[in-house]
A and B are shown apart, each in its own frame.
Chain A
């Protein structure tokens, strides 16, 4: 399963969304790590102050500063940041208005709270504005890559499917409150980048009813908002450990199967009991139900006309080397 060229080779901004609980942070982390393992300089950003990145990589909490969290032997580097809306506003004021002191005054007067709460669109413009700035930033430091992009790729752990379109659709949001002015201009440039072919919005799903439904809805909403769709990443796929024919035989002839399984177990000196064998078969039946449900849901996702990548359910969890396993799975399947 290794396509000739990766499907998202030209993408520089990967936006990862998904229903809550589907593991979108894990997938964003795996994608960022996969890119870094190819020798790239990658930024992984989160915008909801959850500290999901630091927890995933087991590093100290991240702030508004871009901090290196992984250095790959091949030269790849992964930076992480947790975008802070106040800091973003201050950055913005400094950059466009050189308002060092006024920023503090605004903060004291409660204007920052005001600006970032009463106009949620503004909040999103600021958060995504920071990501936009990082994605478009040029190298100023080292000689040989001076002028080149500071990051080869940026991965954004975006808000969940329910909020992501509103979050990314900054133009429409700002249109409600600001028809002209600098914020509007900023929103326009962000939108241009978001809608370009260097951006892809990937949706993470599980093979369960509600995440699949939300994925389908999100794809439609993203399309309607002219945002460039990326892949569907199916997370936590239960590997089908039993062939369909085997599962069918368990269902059709439980007594005969139980006797045969007992004999097999005895042949490798496993101490058996009727209850244990019945338990194994019950687990197989549940597994069959789950596989059937997965297939039903998977068919819906395959019908969406997007590239689909699958990440296995890791029984040991994603605490330790799990992210690396998932990163390799994405590379092997040719996502990047």
Chain B
């Protein structure tokens, strides 16, 4: 088979080696929504812990049962120890769910004077920005990662942080969010909103300032004057902690470029998910960020690979005609099922091959689809085994 030959040229992603390597301090699982990144992150965390690492897993929005399997019953923004796994290698496992709003509140409280903080938290724009600004969740995931890393370095609690990334519109949002928030706060309009007097004082800005005045006039016409005033107050208040914001975003971004970090891109064997993975892989490369490899999750595996789909279908039709035995309908069903699975497997394999061809040399591991959802640590352990199977 041509597919089998092409497969030999692929580099296999060795996640066990990654987990074993003490230099690996951060693993970032990213990918499009619905591909199983959270499960992969949790499974890697568990496997790492059972290999002796002291792990903390930061999940963003886990399925209820997955959260339960980690013993997470509440979203309280604090790492909680996971119990019931194999600790013979001396590892430990903590898990937490990100609370975006609370993380943002903490950032504000940490960077502004108490009265300024109060002012910000009460502003109507803060409510909007902290709960629904496009990219807030991504930014807060980065912020939390930065906090965990600092804590890990300070008191040596963890030697491996596994991060899940938010279910964004696009996997790239995770990388862009901090910059977007930074450039937003750095935006010309915002600067001018905050300091109209300052801007007007300079001759070269005078012309521009006329435009801005016109802009503010139009804005208040559309939104209403109160809105603009609220926005001004909010931006002015935020500005006092802006330096801190920027600095931290830059720091976390630098951390992601560090060789101690490894990105694991998770994809499903579907066109859209692989396209997202493709963009992400290219982007990581452009940014010089350390990509460990790609997990092609939930791939269809055949338990009877020697029988071709076409042959199975032909035989099923023959059986349907002859109906020679009592079990013929059962056998026919088995053959039709096999033909369907083979078709799916072939399509997925084709997509996966096209992906590898477009990204030569990038390590890939394929993980078979599980028939059941993850309910407990045992299920998670099985995913970990599948991820690292030789």
A residues at B contact (CB < 8 Å): 19-22, 48, 50, 52, 55, 93, 97, 99, 102, 105-106, 108-111, 113-115, 117-123, 159-160, 162, 166, 173, 176-184, 208-211, 213, 239, 241-243, 246, 249-250, 257, 260-261, 263-265, 267-270, 273, 275-284, 286-287, 289-290, 293, 313, 315-317, 319
Contact = CB atoms under 8 A, between A and B. Distances in A.
A267 B324 contact: yes
Contacts of B273: 21
A317 B271 contact: yes
A110 B190 contact: yes
A261 B35 contact: no
Given A120-B134, A177-B223, A246 B306 contact: no
B319 A264 contact: yes
Interface of B: 32-35, 61, 63-65, 124-125, 127-129, 132-134, 167, 169-170, 180, 184, 187-190, 192-193, 208, 211-212, 214-216, 218-219, 221-224, 226-227, 230-231, 234-235, 268, 270-273, 275, 302-307, 311-312, 315, 318-319, 322, 324-331, 333-338, 340-341, 343-344, 347, 371-373
Contact of B170 (A50, A176, A213, A263): A50
B221 A97 contact: yes
A72 to B, nearest CB: 25
Contact of B214 (A105, A122, A180, A242): A105
19 contacts: A22-B34, A48-B169, A52-B272, A97-B218, A102-B218, A110-B187, A111-B215, A111-B218, A177-B230, A179-B224, A208-B373, A239-B340, A246-B330, A267-B325, A268-B318, A273-B306, A279-B307, A280-B335, A316-B347
A330 to B, nearest CB: 21
A166 B131 CA distance: 10
A283 B302 contact: yes
Contacts of B324: 264, 267
Contacts of B338: 280, 283
Given A105-B215, A317-B271, 10 more contacts: A55-B275, A106-B218, A119-B125, A120-B129, A177-B223, A183-B222, A249-B330, A270-B312, A278-B304, A317-B347
A177 B132 contact: no
B33 A20 contact: yes
Given A110-B188, A110-B190, A242 B334 contact: yes
A276 B307 contact: yes
A21 B273 CA distance: 8
A-B pairs, 8 with minimum CB distance: A21-B34, A20-B33, A279-B304, A110-B189, A279-B303, A181-B224, A264-B331, A315-B343
A213 B132 contact: no
